[in-house]
């Protein structure tokens, strides 16, 4: 806005204010020669027309009072009053148009304040002269009057404050260069400066010259002291709404904080936790209600499923518990988060429950669930039934995803749907369906399609498909189904379809020559290699040529000469004999038994069994009846007398230092046996066993001669044996007993009953290795009188 203001010296003098109120304490006061004020905003020009700087400046923050009076109300249309520190009225758009007219009416000899060149004289003459009031100072010449008024150009208003653009307004021509004023002070003459003018000058900071405003076309390069007022106006225009906005924000923030504080201890409306409505309650009441309704759930069974499997788990056993206080704390308390106040005002829905978790207990519970919910995969199979191949499908298994299951239990045990579904992982079988199909189509079906011929030596036999498949099976190996055939069974099937195909081998053996053992070498034979036959049959069964070709191979005897020689059978290790009775049948039984056990080889670490060495004790095997003791009675039985062979073998092994595995003493002592070192025998129930505890073989030899039974062990001596027998104790004399048993056999009184203990010590290299004792209790041999059974009572009759 541009305002034009004219001042007379007399008028300004009347409006002077005290100098000490408008100037700084250290600022000088200068007055012009004729009493007119020097405008600090425009400055005076010297005699040569050059502008002189203001004489003095006031502090920018001091208050300046400026009053302007213009009597040309009709021409200019305004009178301005400006006070520093007070907002200036919003400028009207017409002020710029008036300023343009004022610039045009400026005398031709007056210089432009904006620094533009002076207009030509003919243009200056067209400008309308300013009219003056009638009461102006008559003593002032026209020339002096044109220099006494000042024109102050204020910056234009903002474009958005102007109703219409000024592009269509005519631009006035620049004024002519002003002539030197007669009222200008002479050089060197002091200039009087009014207090008001000095104050106004001090309140206006220097304004940098500006180029022509691109919006209104005015040339502002000269600048104006009033530019600062336009800047202040702009600041005020944006500062006022900013302060208003800040005030509103402060009020709203206070209301927000107050509301948050007031509602801090109350649960938002509508809040539910695991189905329990706690909305609108204070924190203590909400905690109490949650603990009352939800805490008991930790002890109730929680159903869970994993795939097709299901079970139950107790949350407390898995270390799971509700933390009611923490749950409510998340819904209450002072918090400036917008979401918290929103929930308090408008309500919330389901709120999460906070639970405490014992990770160690949870991991243990999940591991137990894994073992109960896991399903093992099922391998695909190929089997033969009645010669036809069949495939069984492979089935995937499943196992618990332990980490995922722990997360589900941790987060959903209280609020999740029932049953709680736990994640699983698929476990593929080792034999997949693809491998099963391959084995069925590529191996099993071709094998069962037709018979297979086997060519060996100069003979060829045919094995039916059902025979081959009866010995065929598939076993899983490294995720594959591998065909397996029973090689020995196939060899047997081939051999029995041939004639004199194989030559049997003969094992090396011991024979006694002149009472001493010698090794009889074995002989090699021929056979079919089972592994070679299996490979040939499998190839023929799955290929185009269905003939399996194999060769005979030599076979060594199971017992080789070298092996027997390495056993160290070189000397008699132990020998024992017992006297015979005068019962020929009993003696014959002993002779047969001795022959059967002669040549039995007991290798190191093996155990000798008398019943196995004798074989069946039957009449068909040559055994006769003899005296035996059954349930304390002496009766007749097949193989009677073999207990003497058992006793003799026991003593031979006993003095060889071998381990006593099993033996049973007689119930009565017989004088032909050593006290405490004898053993009975009854095939099928009572046996004699000992173990070869030496590093050498033990070869048994037995015979009957000179009224005695002999047993000898050959090998290499290893143990040194010492044996002692205690005296008798608890001796009981025999008595006479009567028996009515149908099998009763009368006998006379014999040996008394007594108790005896036998002790054996084993030495190796002169050092004691073992000491063992055994105590035996014998019954007396009572005399037996057989009485006739009492007659049966007569049947009762009816009278």
Residue 156 near residue 196 (C-beta atoms within 8 A) = no
Q: Which two tokens stand for residue 19?
A: 């100098």
pTM for this predicted structure: 0.45
Q: Higher-confidence residue: 759 or 342?
A: 759
Measured in whole angstroms, how far is the alpha carbon of residue 793 from the centre of its chain? 88
pLDDT surpassing 50 at residue 134: no
Q: What is the DSSP string of 349-366?
A: -B-PPPEEE-HHHHHHHH
Distance CA 524, CA 506 (A): 7
Q: Are 34 and 183 in contact (CB under 8 A)?
A: yes
Nearest to 3 by CA among 209, 230, 216, 173: 230
DSSP string covering 485-500: E-HHHHHHHHHTTSSS
The structure tokens 């402060």 sit at: 250
Measured CA to CA in angstroms, residue 750 lies from 293, 674, 747, 764 at distances of: 91, 16, 9, 41
Cα–Cα distance, 176 to 376 (Å, whole number): 112
- DSSP, res 601: E
Q: Which residue has the tokens 């054996």?
A: 760
- The pLDDT tens digits of the residues spanning 457-507 come to 999 999 999 999 999 999 999 999 999 999 999 999 999 999 999 999 999
Q: 145: pLDDT confidence band, cut at 50, 70 and 90? A: very low
Q: Is 704 helix (H, G, I), strand (E, B) or coil?
A: strand
- Of 322-336, 409-423, 707-721, the range with the highest mean pLDDT is 707-721
- Note the pLDDT of residue 226: 61
Q: Which two three-digit tokens encode residue 550?
A: 């194999």
Task: Tell whether the model's pLDDT for residue 439 goes beyond 80.
Answer: yes
Mean pLDDT of all residues in the chain? Answer: 76
List, in order, residues 6 or more apart from 6 with CB less than 8 Å away. Answer: 70, 72, 130, 132, 148, 149, 150
Q: Write b or e for each residue in 380-401: b if 16 or more Cβ atoms lie within 10 A of its Cβ, otherwise e.
A: bbbebeeeebebeebeebbbbb
Is the CB of residue 40 less than 8 Å from the CB of residue 54?
A: yes
Average pLDDT estimate for 605-616: 96
Tell me what percent of the residues of the chain surpass a pLDDT of 70.
65
Q: Is the pLDDT of residue 44 over 50?
A: no
pLDDT at 573: 98
Give the integer Cα–Cα distance in Å for 685 and 637. Answer: 15
How far is Cα 682 from Cα 679, in angstroms, rounded to an integer?
Answer: 10
pLDDT in tens, 764-795: 999 999 999 999 999 998 888 888 665 555 55
Give the pLDDT score at 265: 62
Residue ranges per structural domain of the chain: 1-250, 263-429, 438-558, 567-786
pLDDT of residue 342: 65
Q: Indicate the fold that domain 438-558 takes in CATH.
A: Ubiquitin-like (UB roll) (3.10.20)
Quote the CA–CA distance of 431 and 439 in Å, as a whole number: 10
Q: What is the pLDDT of residue 227?
A: 62
pLDDT tens per residue, range 225-278: 666 666 677 777 778 888 888 888 887 777 667 655 545 567 787 788 888 888
Answer with the residue of higher pLDDT: 656 or 111: 656
Helix (H/G/I), strand (E/B), else coil: 725: strand
Q: Kindly indicate the confidence band of residue 368, based on its pLDDT and cuts at 50, 70 and 90.
A: very high
CA distance to 359, 420, 423, per residue, from 365 (Å): 10, 15, 15
User: Does the pLDDT value for residue 426 go beyond 90?
Assistant: yes
Question: Which of the four pLDDT bands, split at 50, 70 and 90, describes residue 549?
Answer: very high
What tokens does 249 get? Answer: 């924000």
Q: What is the pLDDT of residue 258?
A: 65
């Amino acid at each position: 806005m541009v305002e034009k203001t004219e001042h007379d010296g007399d008028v300004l003098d009347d409006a002077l204010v005290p100098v000490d109120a408008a100037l700084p304490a250290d600022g000088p006061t200068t007055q012009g020669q004729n009493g007119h004020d020097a405008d600090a905003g425009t400055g005076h020009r010297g005699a040569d027309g050059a502008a002189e700087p203001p004489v003095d400046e006031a502090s920018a923050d001091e208050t300046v009072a400026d009053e302007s009076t213009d009597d040309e109300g009709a021409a200019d249309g305004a009178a301005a009053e400006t006070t520093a520190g007070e907002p200036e009225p919003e400028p009207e758009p017409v002020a710029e148009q008036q300023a343009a007219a004022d610039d045009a009416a400026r005398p031709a000899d007056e210089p432009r304040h904006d620094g533009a060149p002076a207009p030509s004289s003919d243009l200056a003459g067209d400008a309308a002269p300013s009219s003056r009031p009638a009461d102006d100072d008559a003593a002032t010449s026209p020339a002096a009057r044109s220099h006494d008024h000042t024109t102050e150009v204020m910056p234009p208003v903002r474009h958005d404050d102007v109703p219409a653009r000024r592009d269509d307004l005519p631009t006035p021509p620049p004024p002519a260069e002003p002539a030197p004023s007669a009222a200008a002070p002479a050089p060197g003459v002091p200039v009087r400066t009014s207090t008001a003018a000095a104050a106004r000058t001090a309140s206006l900071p220097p304004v940098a010259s500006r180029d022509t405003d691109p919006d209104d076309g005015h040339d502002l390069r000269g600048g104006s002291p009033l530019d600062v007022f336009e800047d202040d106006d702009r600041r005020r225009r944006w500062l006022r709404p900013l302060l208003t906005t800040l005030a509103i924000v402060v009020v709203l923030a206070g209301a927000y904080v107050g509301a948050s504080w007031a509602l801090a201890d109350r649960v938002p409306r509508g809040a539910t936790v695991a189905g329990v409505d706690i909305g609108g309650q204070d924190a203590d009441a909400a905690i109490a209600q949650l603990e009352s309704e939800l805490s008991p759930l930790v002890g109730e069974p929680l159903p869970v499923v994993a795939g097709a499997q299901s079970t139950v788990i107790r949350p407390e056993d898995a270390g799971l518990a509700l933390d009611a206080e923490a749950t409510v704390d998340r819904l209450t308390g002072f918090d400036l988060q917008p979401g918290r106040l929103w929930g308090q005002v408008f309500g919330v829905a389901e709120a999460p429950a906070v639970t405490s978790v014992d990770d160690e207990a949870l991991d243990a519970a999940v591991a137990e669930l894994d073992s109960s919910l896991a399903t093992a995969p099922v391998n695909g199979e190929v089997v033969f039934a009645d010669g036809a191949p069949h495939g069984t499908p492979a089935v995937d298994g499943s196992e618990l995803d332990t980490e995922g299951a722990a997360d589900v239990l941790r987060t959903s045990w209280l609020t999740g749907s029932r049953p709680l579904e736990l994640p699983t992982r698929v476990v593929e079988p080792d034999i997949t369906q693809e491998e099963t199909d391959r084995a069925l189509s590529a191996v099993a079906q071709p094998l069962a399609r037709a018979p297979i011929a086997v060519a060996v030596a100069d003979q060829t036999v045919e094995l039916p498909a059902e025979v081959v498949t009866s010995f065929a099976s598939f076993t899983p190996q490294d995720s594959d189904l591998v065909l397996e055939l029973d090689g020995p069974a196939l060899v047997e099937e081939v051999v029995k379809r041939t004639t004199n195909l194989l030559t049997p081998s003969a094992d090396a053996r011991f024979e006694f020559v002149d009472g001493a053992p010698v090794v009889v070498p074995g002989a090699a034979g021929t056979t079919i290699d089972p592994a070679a036959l299996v490979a040939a049959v499998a190839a023929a069964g799955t290929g185009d040529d269905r003939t399996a070709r194999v060769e005979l191979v030599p076979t060594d005897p199971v017992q080789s000469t070298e092996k027997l020689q390495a056993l160290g059978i070189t000397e008699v290790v132990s020998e024992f004999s017992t006297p015979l009775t005068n019962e020929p049948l009993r003696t014959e039984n002993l002779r047969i038994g001795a022959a059967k056990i002669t040549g039995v080889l007991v290798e190191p670490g093996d155990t000798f069994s008398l019943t196995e060495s004798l074989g069946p004790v039957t009449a068909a095997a040559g055994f006769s009846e003899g005296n035996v003791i059954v349930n304390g009675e002496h009766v007749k039985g097949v193989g009677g007398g073999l207990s003497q062979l058992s006793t003799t073998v026991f003593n031979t092994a006993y003095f060889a230092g071998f381990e006593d595995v099993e033996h049973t003493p007689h119930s009565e002592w017989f004088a032909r046996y050593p006290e405490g070192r004898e053993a009975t025998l009854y095939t099928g129930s009572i046996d004699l066993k000992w173990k070869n505890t030496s590093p050498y073989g033990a070869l048994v030899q037995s015979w009957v001669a000179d009224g005695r039974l002999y047993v000898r062990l050959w090998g290499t001596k290893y143990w040194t044996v010492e044996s002692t027998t205690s005296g008798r104790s608890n001796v009981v004399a025999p008595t006479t007993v009567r028996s009515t048993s149908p099998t009763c056999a009368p006998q006379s009184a014999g040996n008394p009953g007594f108790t005896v203990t036998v002790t054996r010590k084993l030495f190796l290299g002169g050092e004691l290795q073992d000491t063992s004792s055994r105590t035996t209790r014998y019954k007396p041999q009572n005399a037996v009188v057989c009485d006739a059974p009492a007659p049966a009572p007569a049947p009762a009759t009816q009278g």
